[in-house]
C-alpha cells in the first residue's frame, strides 16, 4: 500500500435477544486496482430477517456507489431514496456509516443516524470536524447526514458501532440513558492504555461483550462494533520448493536468515536445504496433529517447518471457508493459517526445481504444481483478508 501503515479491520456482533440473525450488517472491501478500502455498517430497522435484508440492501448499495466515486450527496440521496420509509414513524428503514480510505491514506466518513464514529489517536480521543449534508430532493428532503474527512496516522483507530452499543443497558440503574458514546470512548481508551497494540478484533470483541453485559446478556437490540486500526505491518515469509539451480541454495538460506519477521518453510527438500546451509539440525516430530498431513518438523530460528504441496493444498481449503468464528486445530495447515492471520505482508519465495515425486502419473491429479496453489492462497489472502502478498521465484 502507498501508505506507511497496514489497515486492520475486524468486527463483532451479537443478535437481538431471541433472534437467529443479526439486523446489523458490516461489510468491507479492498479495491485492489485503486489501493482503496471501503467499509460500511448498516443497522436495519427492527430486528431479525427483515432488518438484516434492509441493512444488506443499504450496505451493498453504499459499497458499490462509493466504489464508483459518486458524489457524497448523490450517494446519500440514492441510498435514502431506495430504502423504504416506515409508514408510521416516517423514518428510513436503515442507518449507515460509510468509511472510504484512499490510497494516499485520506479518510472520508459519511454517516446517517448511526452513533458518530469514534477516532482514537493512540489512547487519546480525537475530536474531528464534521460538516452537515442536507438532502435536497426526494422523500428524505431536509434530512441531514454528517461527513468527516481526515488523514490518519500510525496507531490511530476508528470505532464504528450501531446504537445497540451506545444504548445498551438503557433503563438500568447503572445506565438509565444507555451506555452512551462517552462511556464507550472511556472504556476503549482504558483498554488501549492497558494494551497499546490491542488488535481490531480484540477491541471490537471487548466493546460488544461489555454492551451485551450491560443488557444482562439479553441484548435489547442488535449489537455491532467494527474497528479499523492503522499500524505497523507484521511481516511473514513462506518458502516452498528447492531453487531451480543448486548454486542458489545458499542465497535462499541467506534470505531466510536475514528476513525481519516470521518464517515458514513448506517442503521436505526445502527444509533440508535450509538446515544444511544454516548448519542447524532438523528435528522431526512424530505426533500427527492432523491425520491427513505429515507432522511438522523443527529447525532452530524458523517459526514453522511443514511438508510441502499437501499442506499448502489443505491451507487453501481452510482459507476458502475460514472466518473469525472458525476454531483452528493444531495441525500444520491450521498453524500456517494462524500465522497468516497474524501477519499483514506475506512474501512467498517459490523454488522452481521440478519435484520428481510429483511427476509420477499414478499420483492424484490434484497435486497441482506448487505455483498454482500458492497463487490461489495469495488471492484469498488479498481479497478476503486485505493481506498484501508478494512473490519471488528462485
pLDDT by 10s per residue, the chain, length 394: 446 788 889 999 999 999 999 999 999 988 888 889 999 999 998 888 989 999 999 999 999 999 988 788 888 888 888 877 666 666 667 899 999 999 888 999 999 999 999 999 999 999 999 999 888 877 777 888 999 999 999 999 999 999 999 999 999 999 999 999 999 999 999 999 999 989 999 999 999 999 999 999 999 999 999 999 999 889 999 999 899 888 889 999 999 999 999 999 999 999 999 999 999 999 988 888 888 999 999 999 999 999 988 999 999 999 999 987 788 889 999 999 999 988 989 999 998 876 565 555 554 444 457 888 999 999 999 888 878 899 999 8
Write the CB contacts of 131 (distance below 8 Å, at least 6 apart in sequence).
146, 147, 148
Q: Compute and round to an integer the Cα radius of gyration of the chain.
A: 24
Domain boundaries, the chain: 6-231, 235-393
**How many Cα atoms are found within 13 Å in the side-chain-facing hemisphere of 331?**
18
CATH architecture of 6-231: 4-Layer Sandwich (3.60)
pTM of the model: 0.77
Angle, vertex CA 198, rays to CA 204 and CA 28, nearest 5: 45
- How many CB atoms sit inside 10 A of residue 313's CB? 21
Beta-carbon count within 10 A of 261 CB? 15
CA 332 to chain centre: 22
Q: Are strands 235-240 and 130-134 parallel, antiparallel or unpaired?
A: unpaired
Cα 289 to Cα 297: distance, rounded to the nearest angstrom: 12
Query: Cell 473469525 identifies what position?
Result: 324
CB 72 within 8 A of CB 133: yes
DSSP per-residue string spanning 248-273: GHHHHHHHHHH-SSEEEEESHHHHHH
Helix axes 370-385, 309-321, angle to 10 degrees: 20
Tell me the C-alpha distance between 214 and 174, whole Å: 8
CA atoms within 13 A on the CB side of 182: 3
DSSP helix/strand/coil, 93 = coil
In the block, residue with C-alpha cell 463483532: 12
Amino acid at each position: 500500500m502507498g501508505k506507511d501503515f497496514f489497515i486492520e479491520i475486524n468486527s463483532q456482533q451479537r443478535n437481538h435477544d431471541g433472534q437467529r440473525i443479526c439486523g446489523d450488517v458490516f461489510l468491507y472491501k479492498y479495491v485492489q486496482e485503486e489501493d482503496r478500502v471501503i467499509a460500511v455498517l448498516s443497522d436495519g430497522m427492527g430486528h431479525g430477517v427483515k432488518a438484516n435484508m434492509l441493512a444488506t440492501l443499504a450496505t451493498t448499495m453504499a459499497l458499490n456507489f462509493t466504489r464508483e466515486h459518486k458524489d457524497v450527496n448523490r450517494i446519500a440521496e440514492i441510498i435514502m431514496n431506495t430504502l423504504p420509509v416506515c409508514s408510521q414513524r416516517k423514518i428510513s428503514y436503515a442507518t449507515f456509516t460509510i468509511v472510504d480510505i484512499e490510497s494516499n491514506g485520506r479518510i472520508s466518513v459519511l454517516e446517517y443516524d448511526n452513533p458518530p464514529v469514534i477516532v482514537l489517536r493512540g489512547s487519546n480521543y480525537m475530536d474531528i470536524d464534521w460538516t452537515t449534508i442536507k438532502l435536497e430532493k426526494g422523500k428524505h428532503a431536509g434530512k441531514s447526514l454528517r461527513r468527516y474527512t481526515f488523514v490518519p496516522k500510525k496507531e490511530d483507530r476508528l470505532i464504528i458501532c450501531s446504537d445497540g452499543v451506545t444504548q445498551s443497558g438503557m433503563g438500568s440503574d447503572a445506565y438509565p440513558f444507555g451506555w452512551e458514546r462517552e462511556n464507550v470512548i472511556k472504556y476503549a481508551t482504558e483498554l488501549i492504555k492497558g494494551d497499546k497494540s490491542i488488535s481490531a478484533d480484540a477491541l471490537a470483541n471487548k466493546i460488544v461483550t461489555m454492551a451485551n453485559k450491560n443488557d444482562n446478556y439479553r441484548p435489547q437490540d442488535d449489537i455491532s462494533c467494527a474497528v479499523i486500526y492503522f499500524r505497523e505491518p507484521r511481516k511473514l515469509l513462506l518458502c516452498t520448493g528447492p531453487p531451480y539451480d543448486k548454486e542458489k541454495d545458499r542465497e535462499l538460506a541467506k534470505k531466510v536468515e536475514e528476513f525481519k519477521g516470521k518464517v515458514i518453510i513448506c517442503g521436505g527438500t526445502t527444509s533440508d536445504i535450509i538446515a544444511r546451509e544454516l548448519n542447524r539440525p532438523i528435528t522431526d516430530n512424530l505426533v500427527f496433529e492432523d491425520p491427513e498431513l505429515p507432522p511438522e518438523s523443527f529447525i532452530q530460528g524458523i517459526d514453522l517447518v511443514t511438508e510441502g504441496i499437501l499442506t499448502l493444498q489443505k491451507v487453501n481449503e481452510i482459507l476458502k471457508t475460514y472466518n473469525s468464528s472458525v476454531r483452528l486445530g493444531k495441525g500444520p495447515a491450521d498453524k500456517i493459517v494462524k500465522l497468516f492471520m497474524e501477519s499483514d505482508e506475506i512474501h512467498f519465495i517459490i523454488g522452481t526445481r521440478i519435484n520428481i515425486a510429483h511427476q509420477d502419473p499414478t499420483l492424484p491429479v490434484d497435486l497441482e504444481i506448487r505455483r498454482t496453489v500458492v497463487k490461489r492462497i495469495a488471492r484469498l489472502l488479498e481479497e478476503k483478508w486485505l493481506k498484501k502478498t508478494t512473490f519471488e521465484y528462485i
